[in-house]
């Protein structure tokens, strides 16, 4: 078995939607980035790639490649799952924590888990998503950004 860690941060701004775990989260600010800026999915991708020693999200889906401009990160997650299978790995489980002062994410968590599990072709019990606030500290507490940290456990097929 192998463990991987991923972390992603995206700035908040008024010109984009907030997409987390493939869910359109209602909020007056959105996440800024080359793709849909889904920090949750990006951190999971990096955790999976790290566990398999297959590089990182920037290697596979570079932010200077126009084919990934505004792409759904769920598509990138599916491609990552395909890459893992091609290298004879399967996901055992992943666990993610979203650090955001606002918005409250609890109403969206179950759908995020379902979307991620579907993209990875695993049971929903293999996907954990949690949210916490930074108690108005750091950049997340000032509504400058959202950060997500993820771990993934994989094994050989």
Query: In CATH, what number is assigned to the domain containing residue 52?
Result: 3.30.1330.50
DSSP state letter for 61: S
Rounded distance, CA 141 to CA 139, Å?
5
Using CB atoms within 10 A of its CB, is residue 140 exposed (0-12), middle (13-18) or buried (19+)?
Answer: buried
What mean pLDDT value characterizes the chain? 97
Q: Is residue 112 part of a domain?
A: yes
Mean pLDDT of 2-29: 97
What local confidence, expressed as pLDDT, does residue 1 receive?
97
Number of structural domains found in the chain: 1
Q: Is residue 96 part of a domain?
A: no
Three-point CA angle 135, 100, 112, nearest 5° = 140
Does the predicted model carry a pTM greater than 0.75?
Answer: yes
Q: Is residue 94 part of a domain?
A: no
Three-point CA angle 80, 153, 82, nearest 5° = 20
Q: Is residue 54 part of a domain?
A: yes
Encoding tokens for residue 99?
């650090």
Which of 64-68, 115-119, 139-143 is predicted with the least confidence, judged by mean pLDDT?
A: 64-68
Q: Is residue 98 part of a domain?
A: no
Q: Is residue 99 part of a domain?
A: no
Q: Is residue 11 part of a domain?
A: yes
**CB-side neighbour CA atoms (13 Å) of 50:** 18
With a pLDDT cut of 90, the percent of the chain lying above it is 99
What local confidence, expressed as pLDDT, does residue 45 receive?
98
Q: Is residue 97 part of a domain?
A: no
Domain interval for residue 48: 2-89+105-133+142-156
pLDDT digits (tens, 9 = 90+) for 43-55: 999 999 999 999 9
């Amino acid at each position: 078995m192998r463990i991987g860690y991923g972390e992603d941060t995206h700035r908040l701004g008024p010109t984009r939607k907030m997409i987390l775990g493939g869910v359109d989260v209602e909020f007056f600010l959105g996440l800024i980035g080359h793709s849909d800026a889904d920090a949750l999915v990006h951190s999971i991708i990096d955790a999976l790639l790290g566990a398999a020693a297959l590089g990182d999200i920037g290697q596979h889906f570079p932010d200077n490649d126009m084919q990934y401009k505004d792409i759904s990160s769920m598509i990138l997650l599916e491609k990552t799952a395909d890459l893992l299978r091609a290298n004879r790995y399967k996901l055992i489980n992943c666990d993610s924590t979203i650090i955001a002062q606002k918005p409250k994410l609890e109403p969206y968590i179950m759908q995020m888990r379902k979307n991620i599990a579907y993209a990875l072709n695993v049971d929903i019990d293999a996907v954990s998503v949690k949210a916490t606030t930074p108690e108005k500290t750091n950049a997340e507490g000032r509504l400058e950004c959202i950060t997500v940290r993820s771990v993934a456990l994989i094994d050989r097929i």
